[in-house]
Amino acid sequence: MNKPASDRITEFDKRHIWHPYTSMMNPLPAFTVESCEGVYIKLEDGRKLIDGMSSWWSVIHGYNNPVLNRAAHEQLDKMSHVMFGGLTHRPAVELAELLIKITPEKLQHVFFADSGSVSVEVAMKMAIQYWHAKGKPEKNRMLTVMNGYHGDTFGAMSVCDPVNGMHSMFEGVLAKNIFVEAPQCKFDAQWNEKYISQMKNALAENHEQIAAVIIEPVVQGAGGMRIYSPHYIKRLRELCSEFNVLLIADEIATGFGRTGKLFACEWAGITPDIMCLGKAITGGYMTLAATLATTDVAEGISGNGGVFMHGPTFMGNPLACAVAVASIRLLLEEDWQARVLKIESIMKENLFTIKTVLGVRDIRVLGAIGVVELENSVDMAEIQRMFVDKGIWVRPYGRLVYIMPPFIISEKELNTLTETMTEVIREYLSL
């Protein structure tokens, strides 16, 4: 007797498909998705899950959004792709115009990339090539903070935390960059200059070899989901200017409203020299990223006939650009900030109910980011099954159980998501 189609899919997947951050010998369960709608993921077995992850923080408008669907269909009828070398097209121009309009004023030049990791690679290459063009090729290292995460490609890995991060096995073959302690000042803490003393000392001692500081503004993502004071970013901007070092803001996870500001740099009121964008840029529909630079950086690289040496095959993909334009316009046309602040309020109310539960180390909320940090790492397979059995999709890692729901989530759905999340955490910690 033939197996049901769903069983065959699950079995083939388990044997042959390598999922992110998993082993092929002992893979974690992968639940088969039949369709998605709004904030719901529908599994092939009929179960519906409220999505607390926005598909790794990208699906801000929810799934199967009619506005984004229409943009994709209309562009598909014209062209899905055309090379960007020597050609251009309306979706890319419209997207660049939008990005320049909504990001800090001095960011006037846009380089399109395939993914967040690639946008970080581009930013680092820009910084190094900028100083090379300035006659200072010795300025070719990056300075960053511990607990940071900037992607999984080799350049990006070299600025991820080499001790606490997920890439420690590659340390011996990565470029040797400079690390200082992660920001220790909580979001609302009173500022003390001691919080940035290590960074200041590193810049003072090494600025002649540092091309740029790269940092995730206000929220460190996959390196620990840490939320810190905007004043750190404000002082960092001042120090980079003082020591003649470029500042790269990695806004891949924080961009497009996730923290309660359109971009996390706005909390500090600063402009980086280079900014990386990705994840939510297309509303989670397609892979796309962008690296923005100031005119000083662009002209520095391009002066005396210089060209920037990077060119992805799918750079400026028209289909992705068209959907990104629709996604950003949809975000700007709605009262996204009120929605995000409402999400923040409900998450604070519901998640903090387990603050004193034994095994809970800390709870952090900012904008549409909610984090429960446990004392110990979770058994992923076990806690994932518990979440799915109770009708929500939450994907922890390490000791962090966190949610970043779509902005369109209703109050009722968010209450269900957060109340169920805390219920599962209580049950899991009591096992």
How many other CB atoms are there within 10 angstroms of residue 185's CB atom? 17
Residue 215 lies in a domain: yes
In this structure, the answer to whether residues 259 and 407 fall within a common structural domain is: no
Compute the Cα dihedral for 158, 159, 162, 166 and give only its sign: negative
CATH number of the domain enclosing 291? 3.40.640.10
List residues bridging with 422 in a β-sheet: none
**Which residues 6+ apart lie within 8 Å of 112 measured at CB?**
84, 92, 95, 288, 289, 290, 312, 315, 316, 317, 321
What positions carry a catalytic annotation?
Answer: 21, 149, 250, 279
In this structure, the answer to whether residues 206 and 266 fall within a common structural domain is: yes
Give me the tens of pLDDT residue by residue for the chain, a chain 431 residues long. Answer: 455 667 888 899 999 999 988 889 888 889 999 999 999 999 999 999 999 999 999 999 999 999 999 999 999 999 999 999 999 999 999 999 999 999 999 999 999 999 999 999 999 999 999 999 999 999 999 999 999 999 999 999 999 988 877 777 888 888 899 999 999 999 999 999 999 999 999 999 999 999 999 999 999 999 899 999 999 999 999 999 999 999 999 999 999 999 999 999 999 999 999 999 999 999 999 999 999 999 999 999 998 888 998 999 999 999 999 999 999 999 999 999 999 999 999 999 999 999 999 999 999 999 999 999 999 999 999 999 999 999 999 999 999 999 999 999 999 999 999 999 999 999 999 98
Tokens for 312?
């992805």
Tokens for 430?
């009591």
407 vs 410: CA distance, rounded Å: 9
Q: pLDDT digit string (tens) for 251-280?
A: 999 999 999 999 999 999 999 999 999 999
In this structure, the answer to whether residues 126 and 217 fall within a common structural domain is: yes
The pLDDT assigned to 306 comes to 87
Range of the domain at 134: 69-333
Place of tokens 């309660």: 260
Domain boundary among 303, 333, 363: 333
Where helices occur in 136-270 by DSSP H, the ranges are 154-157, 197-206, 230-242
Question: How many degrees, rounded to 5, is the angle at CA 222 between CA 160 and CA 44?
Answer: 135
199 vs 381: CA distance, rounded Å: 39
In this structure, the answer to whether residues 327 and 340 fall within a common structural domain is: no
Phi, psi dihedrals of residue 268, rounded to the nearest 5°: -100, -10
Number of separate domains in the chain: 2
Where helices occur in 268-374 by DSSP H, the ranges are 295-302, 318-333, 336-351
Tokens for 301?
């690289």
Domain boundary among 333, 351, 368: 333
The pLDDT assigned to 423 comes to 98
First to last CA, the chain: 39
Contact 39, 409 (CB under 8 A): yes
Domain boundary among 310, 333, 356: 333
Residue 245 lies in a domain: yes
Contact 180, 143 (CB under 8 A): yes
In this structure, the answer to whether residues 172 and 111 fall within a common structural domain is: yes
In this structure, the answer to whether residues 216 and 75 fall within a common structural domain is: yes
